[in-house]
Structure 1
Amino acid sequence: MNHALHHPIRVRVTRLLTGAVALVLATLTTLALASPAQADVIDNAITGVTLETTGDLHDNSRVDFSCTWAVPDGSQPGDTFTLQLPPELAWSGATSFALTAPDGVTPVALASVSSSGLVTFTLTDYMLTHASASGDCHFTTRYIATGAGEHVLEFDVGSGVVRVPVTEGTPCQTNCGTKVAKKVGWWVDRDAQDRMQFAIRAPATTGGSTNSITFIDNPGAGYDLDCVTLRSFVSPTTAADGAVIAPFIGAYRAGATPPYAPGQQLVAPAVTCSASGLTLDWTGVPAGMYSEVRIQAVVTDPSLGEYTNSGIVRMNGVDHEVGTIIKHDEPGGGGQGPAIHLEKWSTAEGGPATTDGSDFPGDHDSAPGADLVPGEPTSITFTITNTGDEDLTDLQVTDATTDGPAITAISCDFSPLGGPSSGTTWPAGPFHPGDSFTCTGTVPAMPADDTHSDEATVTGIGAVTGTTVTSHDPWHGHTPPKAEPQLSTTTSTAVARPGVTLHDQVTGRGFESSYSGTGQATLYGPFSRRGDARCTAATAVGTVAFTPRNGTVRTPGIRVSEPGHYTWVARSSADELHRAATHRCGLASESTVVRKTPIVDVPNVESGFSGTLHRAAARTSRVLPARLRFRGIGLDAAVSATRIVRHQMVLPANTQRLAILSRTATPGDAIGTTVIAGHVSNRHNSPGALWSLRKAKVGQVIGYRGGDGITHRYQVTGHRLYRRGQLPRSVFATTGAPRLALITCARIKVSAAGHFHYTRNLVVFAKQL
């Protein structure tokens, strides 16, 4: 079926030829009866034709063709209209192309060209949102000579015929050689258009028998000379188009072996050729000879619309400039119908300068989008433009949020166009082609590291066609991630004594001036080793507050009384612009060893009771509410506190008691050795408290119950014998893993007079469980 046209058929011819244009409507009556609702072929959609050429036509003359077209209301995707070229015109260029919308991208119709020259235009989905469409087309053809004289070209445009008279020139019969130096060029393959042929022609020589002719070719941008195709000829004869033809007195063919032509008389020319230039010299050319250089070029930049070539023909030292331009035969065209366009943009960044969909600063069609300020709302503007050719009514603007908070307070101002000053609808219109109005909305304040995405939509209805048109535009925004400040810390001292007050020195980086959070530094311990540090609530000694900032802050102090390894952990809280910051537990720079004063002058432990008692024993030994139980050797003894007097660890007078050296670790301390000593015998060599210590075995358990009622357990790991008075300093260590050292005497010696003494110290070591 055929669409009935709602417009008259027009024919327009613009050319440098003289003649008349006739349009014959063969089936005008049928057209009037056609039903557009059922049509799939649109008759007589071509409304105008333009042919452009220069001078009389000859074989292979370039003829530029353009047209105007229009399809009626109700045209649908898939509908077609056609144009049949006359047999005198051969298609040149791509055989498929698009007629695009004003955005230069969206196809309104797709064109295809058959081998017989039938151009078929197929409407696209563009028609779903446009009530009707109209536009133009353009392409290039080549004239096919049929004989000199007047001719009429007939273009079938459906049921109509467009007739265009043209004049074909008479081909040259004699003396056809060029009268001036010239250059010509054409496409080797009109469809591919990837290789060009250039010809430089010189007029006939007029001097004696020693004429010189130099051809210089200077290629332009976008192509390289192909030196393999270089040819040059010298002859008294030319074809009708001026080309030099046989018989040749001089010839040159790149890559061939001389002689290059039968009966060649001239010496082969001097040739210099590369992709970027050519020079060819003939010498000794007789009078009356035409000469020519031919060379092809390969396109390297197909995006260029045209390719220029210049050169020089130097005859007997006189230069004649020549040049030519070869254009791409690029078919194309455009189309347009009722349409509407929406652009959405950040008000503060500025809106679009055009309505063609080009990017602009405030346009954020893809994520992550605009950089938004956390905690601050963002103003958004919509610009809606009638980009079609028909008034619109029933306008409605909506916005759908797909991520983040919804845009609020959307309102449009139609008043400059005669509509309401607020709201999102304008039922009456009319919204004229080319007019615009704006709407505004607000993206609510968002926290840091948040995203927002939405899509605005505008719809309208053609006032004449009733077609609904629509446009969508997404917009994206995000708040930057929270700042990630860093804390590095250093304890106030690396080694200290019990009772010390420790401080943390916190250095901050990456805080903004608006930071409103708080800081805390917690001291953890005591631990036996720094590597054993576990920063949990159970191991926290105390927490102090500080104000995080860039730079170093000294925190308030925390007093520490127990020996061991301590470590700080500093923390800053998060706020709207900052993440929380901290660091790992147990850093060396954050750790302090709190230890008792090292025992440098190692004491003697005289635990054999040779019959004398140090006079300090009575006043030094202080009975503690503590007991040591070592069931493995049958020991259950009270423990007294003691000290070192005159390089000697003072033991109690009561040989059934034990003494704990106060300067060593207290049972339960996280570090250091607890030294407890006792007598092996009394003055009569009767068993003392540690008489059976020599029976201790590895793995046996020892219990120490302090005055606080807590029992600390130890497990025997081994024993050592040392010469009396030569105990090593390590036995009295105030650092290292917590352990117990039980010391007594061993290796008794009895004199002839019955006196006795001991030559060794026995030390049993046990680790703290």
Structure 2
Amino acid sequence: MIKQIHLTTTSLVAAILAAAMTLIGLSWSALPASAADIPEASVSLHTESVVNSQWDQVDLTCEWSVPDHSQPGDTFSLQLPSELRWFGTASFDLKNDDGETVATAVADDEGRVVFTLTDFVASHPLNVGGTCNFTTQYALDPGNGSVDELVFTVGSGVVRVPLPDAGECTSDCEPTPPTSAGKAMWWADSAQTQLESIFYMPPMASDSNDVVVTDVPAEGMEIDCSAVTPRVGRSVNDDGNLVEPLDNELYPAVIDCSPERLTASWTGLPEGERVELFVVTKVTDPALDVYQNNGTVVISGEETTVGAETKRTSAGGTGNGTATPSPTPSATSTPTPSATPTPSASVTPSATPTPSASVTPSATPTPTATATPTPSATPTATPSASVTPSATPTAEPSPSTTSPGIGIVPSDAPPASGTPEPLATTGAHSAAFIFAAAALLAVGSVLAFLGARRARRH
């Protein structure tokens, strides 16, 4: 009785372990592959933009590819150089012609763009690649000639994009003040909902100067009157913009602002003083491709018309991949004997024998090597000789009719050489667990059977 209990307990434990191993195997097989960086990714960058001044727009295009069998969630990245400032939409998709997203891209405030592969590559793991396009701004003043190329870090390598020769400063390399009034405008945020502009002008030339600046945005924009910043001073930074100490309190500006029009004025500015006016405008029509902001600058009665234009930028790209081809059955998957059990010389009877009448020698099948049957025997076409008569005689042929010269292969001949190769098998953690579970389940079943059999004996 005690042995029966032990056998029953052992079989129960084996069954529980089998179920647990099966669940673990199935769970393991369902776990997704962990994402990883792809140092072997290839990204080549191109630009045809010409940089002439600070905040010029630099449009970039790229071609990208990743190694075969890269996984969903894997990433690769590129780092913009410090000379470029990302702007425009900060995230975009890379899609194929059918609108399926192959990868996504996200840019951060530091100019690092991270590309992430989607589930598309799981079903299309080969030849994954495509293009991308995005826009940046040149953040430095290229007039000093200190930078002649941009260096992009991509994975473990670098990509160099040359800049047009802006000229090299050889003497008096301090920032050159403007010689006439002007205006520049750029996107103030990556979402392209606000534009910032600057009115700049040369140093005052007379002992006392009155200045009036008027800003009139075009349709699709309106002035943010809370973000108007006037500056007066003499000191400038490396970019040529005014810096501390400023003379704003000595020469305050008078501001008259509405969303449709801005006027800023100064009186009595002495010789050598410079004026800058920063204005932020909000986008009211995001459907426009181009935004314009025009105005006038009047210095001591002399009026100059100024204006700026900024294009809406977009980021995007393409991607694609190739599905794994379906396996084609090999020509050797079906075993084909090297020796076919077919006689080398077909025996064709001149007349079809019938069992109701005795076959005379004139109706005897005549093989290539002639064999004369004895009159007392009724010849029969042997099935293994590939002769198919319409009615098979029942009499057995005489030994003299089965001459080796016909080349008939006996039906019990050994099989031909060349055994078909077994199909290749692949292993996985889940399969190992399932096989182990099946083995434990079999052991439990045997133990349960033995326990039941012992119980019947008692």
Distance 1:248 1:68 in 2: 47
Paired position in structure 2 for 1:290: 274
Task: Return the match for 1:50 from 43, 46, 70.
Answer: 46
Report if the CA contact (8 A) 2:78-2:154 is conserved. yes
Structure-2 change in CA distance of 1:237 and 1:87 (3 Å): closer
Paired position in structure 2 for 1:97: 92
Matched, 1:138 2:125: no
Distance 1:137 1:110 in 2: 10
Paired position in structure 1 for 2:447: none
Identity over the aligned pairs, expressed in percent? 37
Structure 1, unmatched stretches of 5+, are 1-37, 252-260, 340-769
Distance 1:175 1:121 in 2: 39
Distance 1:118 1:288 in 2: 42
Q: Deviations over 1:718-761 (max 9, x none)?
A: xxxxxxxxxxxxxxxxxxxxxxxxxxxxxxxxxxxxxxxxxxxx
Distance 1:54 1:172 in 2: 25
1:206 counterpart letter in structure 2: A
Structure-2 change in CA distance of 1:245 and 1:128 (3 Å): closer
Paired position in structure 2 for 1:276: 260
Structure-2 change in CA distance of 1:87 and 1:293 (3 Å): closer
Distance 1:68 1:102 in 2: 16
Paired position in structure 1 for 2:154: 157
2:178 counterpart letter in structure 1: T
Structure-2 change in CA distance of 1:113 and 1:172 (3 Å): farther
Paired position in structure 2 for 1:176: 176
Q: Secondary structure at the match of 1:149?
A: coil
Distance 2:80 2:245 in 1: 40
Paired position in structure 2 for 1:81: 76
Paired position in structure 2 for 1:355: none
Structure-2 change in CA distance of 1:207 and 1:159 (3 Å): closer
Shift of 1:308: 1.9
Distance 1:144 1:206 in 2: 30
2:46 counterpart letter in structure 1: T
Distance 1:196 1:154 in 2: 28
Report if the CA contact (8 A) 1:68-1:137 is conserved. yes
Report if the CA contact (8 A) 1:172-1:241 is conserved. no
Report if the CA contact (8 A) 1:176-1:238 is conserved. no
Structure-2 change in CA distance of 1:234 and 1:57 (3 Å): closer
Shift of 1:194: 3.2
Shift of 1:297: 1.9
Structure-2 change in CA distance of 1:144 and 1:320 (3 Å): closer
Distance 2:159 2:87 in 1: 21
Report if the CA contact (8 A) 2:51-2:57 is conserved. no
- Counterparts of residues 326-725 of structure 1 (less than 5 Å): 326-328=310-312, 330-337=314-321
Shift of 1:276: 0.9
Distance 2:74 2:295 in 1: 50
Report if the CA contact (8 A) 2:95-2:102 is conserved. yes
Task: Return the match for 1:215 from 213, 216, 219.
Answer: 213
Structure 2, unmatched stretches of 5+, are 1-33, 324-458
Shift of 1:284: 4.1
Q: Deviations over 1:528-567 (max 9, x none)?
A: xxxxxxxxxxxxxxxxxxxxxxxxxxxxxxxxxxxxxxxx
TM-score w.r.t. length of structure 1: 0.32
Q: Name the count of aligned residue pairs.
A: 288
Report if the CA contact (8 A) 1:172-1:240 is conserved. no
Shift of 1:106: 3.3
Structure-2 change in CA distance of 1:294 and 1:145 (3 Å): closer
Structure-2 change in CA distance of 1:326 and 1:127 (3 Å): same
Report if the CA contact (8 A) 2:51-2:58 is conserved. no
Structure-2 change in CA distance of 1:193 and 1:156 (3 Å): same
Distance 2:221 2:37 in 1: 43
Task: Return the match for 1:110 from 104, 109, 119.
Answer: 104
- How large is the Cα RMSD of the aligned pairs? 4.2
Matched, 1:186 2:186: yes
- Structure ID, larger Rg: 1
Report if the CA contact (8 A) 1:46-1:83 is conserved. no
Shift of 1:226: 1.3
Paired position in structure 2 for 1:505: none
Distance 1:198 1:132 in 2: 45
TM-score w.r.t. length of structure 2: 0.51
Distance 1:208 1:57 in 2: 31
1:119 counterpart letter in structure 2: V
1:225 counterpart letter in structure 2: I
Structure-2 change in CA distance of 1:93 and 1:177 (3 Å): same
- Counterparts of residues 247-326 of structure 1 (less than 5 Å): 251=248, 261=249, 263-264=250-251, 269=254, 271-326=255-310
Q: Deviations over 1:383-403 (max 9, x none)?
A: xxxxxxxxxxxxxxxxxxxxx
Paired position in structure 2 for 1:120: 114
Which structure shows the higher helix fraction? 2
Distance 2:114 2:175 in 1: 45
Structure-2 change in CA distance of 1:106 and 1:323 (3 Å): farther
Paired position in structure 2 for 1:360: none
